[in-house]
Amino acid sequence: MTESSIQRDKWNSKAGFIIAAAGSAIGLGNIWRFPYVAGENGGAAFVILYILFVLLIGLPVMIAELTIGRNTQKNPIGAFLKLFPKSSWKYFGVMGVLTGIGILSFYGVIAGYTIGYFVKLLLGQFDTIAGAVESQRIFEEFTANPYVSVGYLFVFLTFTGYIVLGGISAGIEKWAKILMPILFVLLIILAIRSITLDGAIKGLEFYLEPDFSKVTASTFVMALGQALFSLSLGMGAMITYGSYLSKKDNIISSAASVCFFDTLIAILAGLVMFPALFAMGMNPSGGPGLVFIVLPSIFSKFPGGIYFGAGIFLLLSVAALTSTISLLEVAVSYFVDEKKWTRKKATVLMSIFAFICGVPSALSMGSSDWLSDLPILHIGVLELMNAVFGNYSLALGSLLVAIFAGYKWGVKAVKREVHQFGNEFKYFWLWSFLIRFLCPIAISIILGYIIITGNYF
Ligand code: PHE
């Protein structure tokens, strides 16, 4: 037992952890999902609510998850088993592992598209694109091809598995350190390009000037759902990443840095999308296709734009990749820690499992009528998976983390773990208040609302 914990891999440094955890948090959620959700929910007013939720709910829950992970040095199931061996909390861990695979299965489909688009741009398929309508047609044709959708899902999961196979410091951390800085620089360049397009100003107004008349109950629901998803909370990804954290590192400042970078990138992604969107005369509530339809129509408008665009889709894939590895790592760490599987066996089997679970989502984007419009529910499988795993499960999971840290394990235990090696827990009183009262109450109200109204996020 002790032997296996001595051998357990660790992040090389605090900075390495922050980059890897920011890599998990920063992904399609920031660059693909945030702009379209903000667009559908009124722009700036949504962004303000979103930031409030990150600070008041996301950050406290992240601190709780990282602390549980670091204290136990275990995967989510093992962590609860270690702290309370006889309780039912381990089933919460089971939910986390399943949610990780559930998200990976549909997320991998969209991530696969980003590789597909990278290839398409390089092959010159957007060189002469006329505008948004054509861009839309290309996207629909692309997703409706079953070989393409399933094929790219497979490719994406293979890359994910390859990195996870390398382990923590030599796999996940090493790759995150290479990939994240490049992503950041490219996003800034693209934001500048987008803001300087003719007619961009209307987009900036939409994005930066709040119109609170657009805020409804569903704006709250969407903002919270987006914050939890974007910060990778509620399914044990941060418990798992925290479990590889050194006892010397300060959990509070690490968590704050991850939340800061994640929000920064989401806001930057909005600065890329909205000005361009308005400059092209497109509707800001373009939905999930936004990134695939709007970006290519911008690239074709300036010299060398196509190669630049290819670079951006490559980087979108990269951002997605640093997230999918965290989704896979949760299940892998469970089988390695608890079932004593080799990392190789766990990685290969879990990747295959995620692939099988992902096929219906891949086929639901136009290849199969039935999967694209399920009976009774009238949504596609990918949308359903997103609602169940990407939204409900993360909200329920975050609620349970708050209750666990606030009451079951207790705020004092959390404080003790944070204090290791003389580290400070700044604003402990505030954190205790948020995790014990605000987080559970706010998340319960929102969960109750979606259950009663039957709305998913
Ligand atoms: N946070 C990731 C993103 O924004 C998605 C994710 C959710 C990753 C949950 C891990 C766990 O793209």
Residue 380 counted as domain residue: no
Task: Give tens-digit pLDDT for 314-373.
Answer: 878 989 999 999 999 999 999 999 999 999 999 999 999 999 999 999 999 888 888 888
CA–CA separation, 253 and 427 (whole Å)? 12
In a domain, residue 420? The reply is no
Which residues of the chain have a pLDDT value below 70?
Answer: 1-7, 129-130, 285-288, 302-303, 454-457
Burial of 158 (0-12, 13-18, 19+ CB in 10 A): exposed
User: Is residue 65 situated within a structural domain?
Assistant: yes
> Is residue 389 included in any domain, yes or no?
no
Q: How many domains does the chain have?
A: 1
pLDDT of residue 455: 65
What pLDDT is recorded for position 305? 73
Distance (Å) from CA 435 to ligand 1 centroid: 21
pLDDT score at 457: 44
Tell me the C-alpha distance between 216 and 354, whole Å. 36
Q: How many whole angstroms separate alpha carbon 216 and alpha carbon 163? A: 42
Q: Ligand 1: which of 75, 105, 229, 324 to mutate, judged by most atoms within 8 Å of the beta carbon?
A: 229
Tally Cβ neighbours within 10 Å of residue 368.
16
Residue 438 lies in a domain: no
Residue 286's pLDDT is: 63
Question: From the CB of 237, is ligand 1 less than 6 Å away?
Answer: yes
Q: Which domain holds residue 217?
A: 3-359
Residues in contact with 76: Cβ distance below 8 Å, sequence separation at least 6, in sequence order: 92, 93, 96, 97, 235, 236, 239, 240, 330, 334
CA atoms of 14 and 248, how far apart (whole Å): 9
Residue type, 162: Y
pLDDT confidence of residue 381: 94
Look up residue 132 and give its two tokens: 């948004």
What is the full DSSP assignment across 280-333? TT--TT-GGGHHHHHHHHHHTTSTTHHHHHHHHHHHHHHHHHHHHHHHHHHHHH
Task: Please check whether residue 51 lies inside any domain of the structure.
Answer: yes
With a 6 Å cutoff on the Cβ, whether 160 touches ligand 1 is no
Q: Does any domain span residue 423?
A: no
Q: What is the CATH number of the domain that holds 147?
A: 1.10.4160.10
Distance of CA 28 from the midpoint of ligand 1 (Å) = 8
Quote the pLDDT of residue 129: 67
Q: How far apart are the first and last CA of the chain?
A: 42
**Residue closest to 62 by CA, chosen among 222, 227, 289:** 227
Cβ of 230 below 6 Å from ligand 1: yes
Kindly state if the Cβ of 269 falls inside 6 Å of ligand 1. Answer: no
How far apart are the CA of 2 and the centre of ligand 1, in A?
Answer: 32
pLDDT in tens, 189-239: 888 988 988 888 998 988 888 888 888 888 898 899 999 999 999 999 999
* 374 found inside a domain: no
